Amino acid sequence: MNLDTTAPPVRPSVAAIGLVRSSTFWRHMARLQLGLFLFGLSVALMVEAHIGLDPWSSLHDAISGSSGLSFGRISQGTGLLIIVFSRLVLSVKPGVATVCNMLIIGPWVDVLREQFWFPSQVSGVSGTVQFVCGVLVMGLATAVYIGARLGAGPRDGLSMGLSRRLKRSLRGTRMGVEISVLAAAALLGGSIGLGTLIFAALMGPVMQVSLRLFSVSHDPSPSLGKA
């Protein structure tokens, strides 16, 4: 009689349960939450600088102004729509970081902006300084949350899915998405100005330096628990 000594493969559900029970997962989850808080802080700093916004924030600001809903609620709703579209059309599976990104960043933006101590600028010089600080914090936040190895945010996943579907480079695809979003924001009366140019010029280099400084991979795909 032949005995098969090959160990049966571990089912994905069993592996996932084992991962969630591990202390490593919760350490990375804590890192993810810190990164998302910093991301919310960075967006709030840029919004309250009042010198223009990045494409996505400009779109959220425009919809918020016309709908009466808060910036954070619009950010959540947009994130949810992107997740659904990416899953149904581009076959991009949402991960832990995808859902947390959609749920958490927007409320942090709202909460921080409502605090009496949170800085809100009225001049171009102080606004520019605050906006640059926001960009720097966003670069740090990106390195922290991608370094958690729990996956991409909704907008990262959208760019990755489109890149795969269109067979184009990720850099070019992301640029196309950002330009399209900026055009939509402009049509809706979003906040576009000096800050928009500063973001376009600085965000890429700041993110690259931050990822290198914290030894984080440029690939935002989930990798925690992989061999």
Long-range CB contacts (within 8 A, 24+) of 172-175: none
Nearest C-alpha neighbor of 35 from the set 221, 210, 224: 210
Mean pLDDT of 79-98: 92
Model confidence pLDDT, tens digit, residues 156-184: 889 888 988 988 887 788 889 999 999 99
Rounded-to-integer distance, Cα 145 and Cα 37, Å: 10
* pLDDT given for residue 54 in this prediction: 94
Query: Could you tell me the pLDDT band of residue 219, with boundaries at 50, 70 and 90?
Result: low
Predicted local confidence at residue 119, as pLDDT? 96
Q: Dig out the tokens for 190 from the structure.
A: 């979003």
Q: Say what percent of the chain tops pLDDT 70.
A: 85
Best-predicted range by mean pLDDT (1-10, 16-25, 132-141): 132-141
What's the pTM value of the predicted model, to 2 decimals?
Answer: 0.85
- Chain-wide mean pLDDT for the chain? 86
Between 190 and 222, residue with greater pLDDT:
190
The Cα 136–Cα 48 span in angstroms is: 15
Scanning the chain, the segments in alpha helix (DSSP H) are 12-20, 23-47, 55-67, 71-90, 96-113, 124-146, 154-166, 170-187, 194-213
Are 44 and 113 spatial neighbours (Cβ–Cβ below 8 Å)? yes
Query: Is there a contact between 105 and 36 (Cβ–Cβ < 8 Å)?
Result: yes
Contacts of 130 (CB under 8 A, 6+ apart): 45, 46, 48, 49, 119, 121
CA atoms of 110 and 120, how far apart (whole Å): 13
